[in-house]
A and B are shown apart, each in its own frame.
Chain A
Amino acid sequence: MIIPLLVTACSGPLSILDPAGTAAAETAPLWWGMFGFFTLVLFAVVLAFVYAVRRTPRSHTEPGPDTSESDTPQLQRQHQVWIVGGGIVLPVATIVTLLVFGIPAGNRMAGVGIDPDQALHIEVTGYQWWWEVRYPNLSLTLRDEVHIPAGVPVRLHLTSADVIHSFWVPRIGQKLDMIPGHVNELLLQADAPGIYPGVCAEFCGLAHAHMKFSLHVHSPEDFAAWQTAQQPGAAE
């Protein structure tokens, strides 16, 4: 019963837990893994605290400590175990595990190994508060709409004409900032046709909340048809 509830609670048009692209599909499991493990850690620490406090409580009025007796060697060893175990072994093991999963996922998301020249090339420029989308090969310019084929990587060149914006389609993949004077490259690949909303993720002034766009993912055939329809010669 819990699981379907979780699934509905976690889906949504902008949910990163409801992936529809290769990059977003990398991060959702990372989240669930970390969520599960860290919940355990949190509970363990809190339980240890509560138990330690409740174990042999002392009343207010009892006299204070007698520092003349120092900790027994056995107790000192125990302390060492606490600190080294919880303060060094636990974090190091966690970090190593995270990196083992995280680094390859990051590389795949960044598109390491994909030949960028193969991919469809789109240039997106942020303006206050809209998106200019250019297809250099098609000499085509759109506003607030990006069209791509499903199942193949596309290469987006992101920059800004005024302030910093950030290009983000949560269900497809990671966000990347659009910074004046810089061109950032983002590789995205959507799984299936559909319309996916995108938002500006970097605060950019008055209408930042309304700076949206939509990513239209077509099947390869539909995309080819769409391309020809957009050619200057094509009938309206």
Chain B
Amino acid sequence: MNDFQQPDQNRHDRDQELHRGLMAIWSNLPGWGSLSAVNHTTVGVRFMVTGAVFFLIGGVLAMLMRSQLALPDNTLIDAALYNQLFTMHGTVMMFLFAIPVLEGLGIYMVPKMTGTRDLLFPRIGAFGYYCYLFGGIIIMYSLFAGIAPDAGWFMYTPLSDAEFSPGRGSDFWLLGITFVEISAVSAGVELTVSILRGRAPGMTLTRMPIFCWSILAMSLMIVFGFPPLILASILLELERAASMPFFNVAAGGDPLLWQHLFWLFGHPEVYIIYLPAAGVVSTLIPVFARRPLVGYGWVVFSIVLMAFISFAIWAHHMFTVGIPVAAQAFFSIASMLVAIPTGIQVFSWLATLWSGRVVFALPMLWIFGFLVIFVCGGLTGVMLALVPFNWQVHDTHFVVAHMHYVLVGGMFFPMMAGLYYWLPLFSGRMPSENLGRWGFWLTFGGFNMTFLLMHLTGLLGMPRRVYTYESGLGWDWLNLLSSVGGFVMAAGIAVIIIDIAMHFRFGRKAPQNPWQADTLEWALEAPPPPYNFISIPSVSSRHPLWDNRNLAQEIAAGEHAMADFEHGRREVPYTSGLDARPQSIVHLPGNSWIPLQAATVMAVLCICLLTRWYLLAAVTAVISGVMLLRWSCFNGAHPQSAPVNDKRADDLQLHSRTLDGPGIRGMKVTIMADATLYLCLLFGWIYFWISPDRPLPDQMPLDVSVMVACSLFVLLANLSYLTAVRRAKAGMGTGLEYRLWLTCAFGLLHCISLAWILVFSPLQFTTLTHDALIMFAILYLMFHSVLALFLTLIQIQRYRAGYVSELLPYEFLVLAPWWIYTTVIAWSVLIIFAGLPMLWPIG
């Protein structure tokens, strides 16, 4: 608290008043109450700190592995433990360190850079954090209990299935990671919508900082990239726990389907990790070169291009599984094309440095390390994309070296640059120069010693994932040096930790905007108050702080928009997507216990599934469903919380009084993720049909007439809901409730007929992949229908309570896309899952 008082002295009375008023609205609750915090600054820091802890845990696992590999025929660690170590190291680093830290950075930074006070779904952010934390703890527990997953971080079946991994290890992975992914996807949705609709007025897309572009790309890639893995994990867990054979060869499944789904996620994943880090580089380089980034448009283009290409090259992880030659050529060339957007970025950085005059501060040293290591990793990546070479070095230590060059070079080094760069904002103090340089050189030297040599180890034929090796293969000295290098790097990281810890006490007080940066976060006082900006600036260029050197003072003096607190609401602007014209004011929820409660119940659900207490799991699932539905009922939409036609000075209304708002956008982005999952299921279905010699049932297991009836019911429900929405939008209140009830009635008929199909169809879902896939599709549809039904019932209740009406139709609009999507799946299940087998007559 002390930190806030010092600058207060030279404030005018009005500043003081604004500051205190906003603090009263935006502060977290004190003490344990801060667990109810939803503020993006708090949530972002929690993500990053937790991620850093997981990085250290993952690092310890790596050190254990390197100790074992230091000498040939070493017996320090046995195979069983080593397999858990590399599986957990990879899993922790990818899922519990890299992604969450980058999300945390995005959550922390995006509102500050886009000149607003918070993200648009604060509770979702907090909920995501708790899912991540609890999921991480559950996964880590397995390691301490000695039953950790041990089939590698990509969990190939059949090795990971019930037959070859009978223990609980794979279940921990599948359930724990899926739980953590909820957090990733929710952060992805939150960031996408907030970046597109929550920027300060005037910050058009072309004026948006590159960092926000890269976080936007990351978020959209999460939205489209994670569903394949979520689906694959659910399918594999069903195969393990409920014997539904999706990947089992005897029943008609294929282990390669797992690989396709995994890498359909796994490849975009590495760009999800790289893009935000590259965004950090594009932010820092212009600041230290003290000139605008060269080729802003080119860099944005290359980010978008990279995001697209990364979804078309997953099979380059599968060149040795025997896919057709033409497919190999396609994936090989597509993979090499990634060099183009990467090259554009690298050369625009070089050109920026070249035509500026550079201040070589500590963050730039880390950028130097990034450049050396990442470019090297990128070049070995191009080598690996060359199929004949890949056939030789795939699954050797060459690949281990390559992936650490891109992951550590492309993510860890830029993050360290960013850490040192933003530290003064976070703590109000400057980082040291000396100790920091020691930390860098030890890390950089140790890293290269470990992994540069490892390329040669791989070329000499050492496969990856071996817990030991015999002497005399030429690998001994290489491995020993790699291990020594690993410990040097660990020492470097220890120095960094000491450096950062000491800076909080001994660091020089940072002046405002110490690096003379151009982006809005540096207009904040350090450490940033929970409301960020006292008044919301309107942005007129890419470099607001370079153009107007008094902007920080003006903002603090409340000279810009929304400098009011008398309403007592957390308010942020809602702006149009392209040109950031103000459209309405979003009334955000404040501190809330709901995220913690919901995540806790879901953690209990996860544990019940792990221990296979299915009865308890069912009960918890119902409770968590109720909690999540209840969640939507707590918002400020009631007319009593603000008059419906409250005219404000700026002529803007609260979003819940308009026809557009974050909820609608969030719903649409969520449906995009959901639809991706469904498309992956269709991919699995089509993959099944084009595989040779798959076993089929003797007769079509679904009763088509019931399926048609079922799809008609949902169509009618959908139509009557949409009529209700249309009438509400037109301001016609009569017959609204009747139409909602009609929707529910049709919805109920639809659910009943679905249940009938589920119960009475002769589906052999434990012996045939064909039937297991159909079963899954029907369950998936059922989930959506039941949810649509309950959400409509809630709307009826909200209508009666006055939250929604023909004057306030906003919430009706939020639900509409869900009904439409449910109808679309129902018909596509009818056509594709019931219809396709009829075209392709069985038997």
Which residues from chain A sit less than 8 Å from chain B, CB to CB?
9-17, 24, 26-27, 30-31, 34, 38, 41-42, 45-46, 48-50, 52-53, 55-60, 62-65, 67, 71, 75, 78-79, 82-83, 85-88, 90-92, 94-95, 98-99, 102-103, 105-106, 109-110, 128, 162-164, 166, 168, 170, 174-177, 179-182, 184-185, 199-209
Determine the interface band of chain B, counting residues with CB < 8 A from chain A: 35 or more
Q: Which residues of A contact B322 (CB under 8 A)?
A: 176-177, 179, 182, 184-185
A164 touches B159 (CB 8 A): yes
CB-defined contacts of A99 to chain B, threshold 8 Å: 333, 336
Contact, CB under 8 Å: B387 / A67: no
Q: Contact between A31 and B368 (Cβ–Cβ < 8 Å)?
A: no
A58 touches B164 (CB 8 A): no
Q: A209 and B158: CB pair below 8 A?
A: no
Interface-central residue, A46, A58, A64, A204, by most chain B CB under 10 Å: A64
Q: Flag if A91 contacts B376 (CB, 8 Å).
A: no
Contact (Cβ within 8 A) A199 B388? no
Given contacts A58-B359, A163-B158, contact A53 B350 (CB under 8 A): no
B568: interface (CB < 8 Å): no
Given contacts A82-B347, A86-B343, A175-B391, is CB(A200)–CB(B473) below 8 Å?
Answer: no
* Contact B461–A170 (Cβ < 8 Å): yes
Q: Can you add 12 more A-B contacts, CB < 8 Å, to A38-B380, A65-B356?
A: A13-B472, A17-B460, A49-B368, A65-B292, A83-B295, A83-B344, A98-B336, A103-B329, A163-B164, A166-B320, A175-B394, A202-B156
The one of B302, B343, B372, B475 that contacts A90, using a Cβ cutoff of 8 Å:
B343
- A175 near B460 with CB under 8 A, answer no
Contact A174 B350 (CB under 8 A): no
Q: Sorted from nearest, which 8 A-B pairs have the closest CB atoms?
A: A14-B461, A86-B347, A87-B344, A174-B391, A12-B474, A181-B249, A64-B516, A209-B466
Give 27 CB contacts A-B under 8 Å: A9-B456, A12-B475, A14-B461, A16-B460, A31-B459, A46-B372, A49-B353, A49-B371, A55-B357, A59-B359, A65-B516, A65-B546, A83-B347, A87-B341, A88-B340, A105-B388, A109-B391, A164-B156, A164-B159, A170-B392, A174-B320, A176-B320, A199-B461, A199-B463, A200-B463, A201-B320, A201-B463
A15 touches B350 (CB 8 A): no
In the complex, the chain B residue whose C-beta lies closest to that of A11 is B474
Q: Which chain B residues lie closer than 8 Å to A179 at the CB level?
A: 255-256, 321-322
Dominant SS among interface residues on chain B = helix
Tell me which of A16, A102, A207 contacts B393 (CB under 8 A).
A16
In the complex, per-residue mask of B310-333: 1 if CB is within 8 Å of any chain A CB, else 0: 000000000011100100110011
CB distance from B538 to the nearest CB of A (A): 18
A80, B583: Cα distance in complex, Å? 38
Residues facing A in B235-264 (CB within 8 A) are 249, 254-256
Shortest CB–CB separation between residue B79 and chain A, in angstroms?
Answer: 5
Of the candidates B343, B393, B467, the one whose C-beta lies within 8 Å of that of A87 is B343
Given contacts A34-B389, A79-B294, A209-B466, contact A175 B320 (CB under 8 A): yes
Shortest CB-to-CB span from A32 to chain B, Å, is 11
A63 to B462, CA, bound (A): 54
B624 within 8 A of A: no
Interface residues of B (CB under 8 A from A): 79-80, 83, 151-152, 156, 158-159, 164, 249, 254-256, 290-292, 294-295, 298, 302, 320-322, 325, 328-329, 332-333, 336-337, 339-348, 350-351, 353-361, 364, 368, 371-372, 375-376, 379-380, 382-383, 386-389, 391-396, 456, 459-469, 472-475, 516, 541, 543, 546-547
Measured between beta carbons, the chain B residues less than 8 angstroms from A55 are 354, 357-358
With both chains docked as a complex, state the minimum distance between the C-beta of B257 and any C-beta of chain A, in angstroms.
11
Would A15 and B474 count as touching, CB distance under 8 A?
A: yes
**Smallest CB–CB gap between A82 and chain B, Å?**
4
Q: A17-B459, A106-B388, A164-B158 are in contact. Are A87 and B348 (CB under 8 A)?
A: yes
- Known interface pairs A65-B291, A170-B461, A204-B159; A45-B375 also in contact (CB < 8 Å): yes
Q: Which residues of A contact B337 (CB under 8 A)?
A: 91, 95
Whether A45 contacts B346 by the Cβ 8 Å rule is yes
Which of B354, B372, B461, B547: most chain A Cβ within 10 A? Answer: B461
Task: Give A174 Cβ to nearest chain B Cβ, in Å.
Answer: 3
Q: Given A52-B350, A78-B355, A86-B347: A98 and B382 within 8 A (CB)?
A: yes
Q: What's the nearest-Cβ distance from chain B to residue A181, in Å?
A: 4
Q: B368 to chain A: which residues have CB within 8 Å? A: 49-50, 53
Contact indicator B392/A91 (Cβ below 8 Å): no
Verify A30–B347 contact, CB threshold 8 A: no
> Across the interface, do A34 and B392 meet the contact criterion of CB distance under 8 Å?
no
Interchain CB contact under 8 A, A56 and B357: yes
Whether B460 lies near A163 (C-beta < 8 A) is no
**A45→B388 CA distance, assembly (Å):** 27
A67 touches B164 (CB 8 A): no
